[in-house]
Amino acid sequence: MPKLLLITASAATIKRVRRSRFLNFQQITMPYLASRVPPGWEVIHVDEEAEEIDWNAEVDMVGVTFHTPSAYHAYDIAARFRSRGVCVVLGGPHVTLVPEEASKYADVIFVGEAEGLWEEFLKSFEAGTYLKEYQLTTPPSLENVPAARKELFHRHDYSSGVLFATRGCSNECDFCTVSVMYCHSLRKRPIAEVAAEYASFKGKVIIFWDDNIAGDLAYAKELFDAIAPYRKWWSSQASIQAGRDDAFLEAAARSGCKQLFLGLESISQESMKGVNKHFNRVESYYEIIERIHSYGIAVQAGMVFGFDADTPQVFKDTIDFLEEAGVQNATFNILTPFPGTALFRRLEAEGRILTRDWTKYNSRANVVYQPRQMDTTELLAGFRYANERFYSLPSIARRLLRSPVQLWWTLPLNLAYSYGWHRGGPRISGPSS
């Protein structure tokens, strides 16, 4: 029986800046691809955010998925297995964005989505013939997709429920790789199929790994009605449209939504305009956050620093805003022009890309481009200030007293983040270090 080792690669550097021991998320890509492997294969999965690779594993093929900051590490993995004559297949975001680079390190690459082609490739591998590159010509349908193989999840506890209902996003924000990766198209799984997979999890806490669960509001409401009877708790990512629609929020809350990760990105309208995200109306942020809170749903704000309109004042103003709005959690990122995006092309044309060392494209510990209105050290220092202040005890008290939504878990989570940050956040270094 041929043996396939699937690896979710994560470089030591990115594990450190993400502190993934603490943020131990279950991933779905490989357990999902495993469910599409034809019968007759034995499949193993190693998620490097939590597990170690057995370099001596006797396998016939290795498949690796990875993000840009883990690219060199993934190429090292490929080299080690290829030196033993094992066929190595690379796929995922970075391969899709820079296929010509990735193909130098692999026997086979998958560009973009793999439904159908992956099965075809595995069958031809068994027959002894296969191509160097696979790419679908049209985005695949998400009907009848098999459920991810739960026995390949690394977590077997309460939080092991992860699935996706939709894929892609029809918006085209300049800094985002999602619309590029999925051909600017939003696709949806049939609601009954999603509800059945949702119901199949034993655990109570579920994450929808969708790019934007509010991408189609009518679909989302129907989905929430279908999953409500299972009485689980869930969270997902959503664009700001989610907070404009009472019926969406009502249905979400009734179905067990406890938190939305909201792509606010910036409190500067000019910044939003500059990256083609003008649908984020900054003047409506308070009202939107308040409305989400009024349904008992916590808000995790996704914030990005370093847009062209950002000055060193942006860090203080952003935290003042988040405190005043009573936001429960926030993820701060340093603007990162991922290759293949409109942002990368623009900054490259302007001569502002400082390094192509992909390990530095981690959005947390390095600045890889020349910001317009500050220098790279100011941006790094401001990023650190934002994290430290947001997760300081006075800020936690201010925010959670202002909006005591889901306090039973938002308070311990904030305290844990606070402990993490004040024991030493990501090491800060410039682009040349």
Residues that bind ligand B12 (CB under 6 A): 8, 10, 14, 18, 25, 27-29, 32-33, 49, 63-65, 67-70, 89, 91-94, 97, 110, 113-115, 118, 164, 176-178, 209, 211, 338, 362-364
Reading the block at residue 95, the tokens are 């391969």
User: Could you say which of 122, 142, 176, 252 contacts ligand SF4 (CB under 6 A)?
Assistant: 176
Judged by CB under 6 A, does residue 169 bind ligand SF4?
yes
The interface mask with ligand SF4, positions 258-287, x = CB under 6 A, is: -----x------------------------
Task: Give, in order, the Cα–Cα distances in Å from 35 to each of 28, 32, 146.
Answer: 11, 5, 6
Query: Alpha-carbon distance 337 to 366, whole Å?
Result: 12
What is the DSSP secondary structure assignment for residue 382, as one 8-state letter?
H
Judged by CB under 6 A, does residue 70 bind ligand SF4?
no
Decide: residue 381, CB within 10 A, 0-12 exposed, 13-18 middle, 19+ buried: middle
Quick one: which segment of 127-135, 166-174, 384-392, 404-412 binds ligand SF4 (CB under 6 A)?
166-174
Residue type, 222: E
Which parts of 158-216 fold into alpha helices (H)? 178-181, 191-199
The partner in contact with residue 406, picked from ligand B12, ligand SF4, none with C-beta cut-offs of 5 to 8 angstroms by kind, is: none
CB of 263 to ligand SF4, least distance (A): 5
Judged by CB under 6 A, does residue 367 bind ligand SF4?
no
The residue with tokens 């300081």 is 392
Q: Which residue, 276 or 429, has its beta carbon nearer to ligand SF4?
A: 276
CB atoms within 10 A of CB 153: 21
Phi–psi pair at 206, nearest 5 degrees: -125, 140
Looking at the chain, how many residues does it have? 433
What is the DSSP secondary structure assignment for residue 116, as one 8-state letter?
T
Pick out residues in 182-211 that bind ligand SF4 (CB under 6 A).
211
Quick one: which segment of 140-148, 167-175, 199-207, 362-370 binds ligand SF4 (CB under 6 A)?
167-175
- Residue 163, beta-bridge partner list: 208
Beta strands at 298-305 and 329-334: parallel, antiparallel or unpaired? parallel
CA-closest candidate to residue 237, choices 300, 312, 193: 300
User: Could you say which of 178, 195, 322, 334 contacts ligand SF4 (CB under 6 A)?
Assistant: 178
Q: Which residue, 174 or 225, has its beta carbon nearer to ligand SF4?
A: 174
Q: Are 400 and 410 contacting, i.e. CB atoms less than 8 angstroms apart?
A: yes
Pick out residues in 211-240 that bind ligand SF4 (CB under 6 A).
211-212, 239
Q: Which residue, 363 or 403, has its beta carbon nearer to ligand B12?
A: 363
Sign of CA dihedral 238, 359, 139, 120: negative
The partner in contact with residue 173, picked from ligand SF4, ligand B12, none with C-beta cut-offs of 5 to 8 angstroms by kind, is: ligand SF4
Judged by CB under 6 A, does residue 107 bind ligand SF4?
no
- Residues that bind ligand SF4 (rule: CB under 6 A) add up to a total of 11
Site of interaction with ligand SF4 (CB under 6 A)? 169, 171-173, 176, 178-179, 211-212, 239, 263
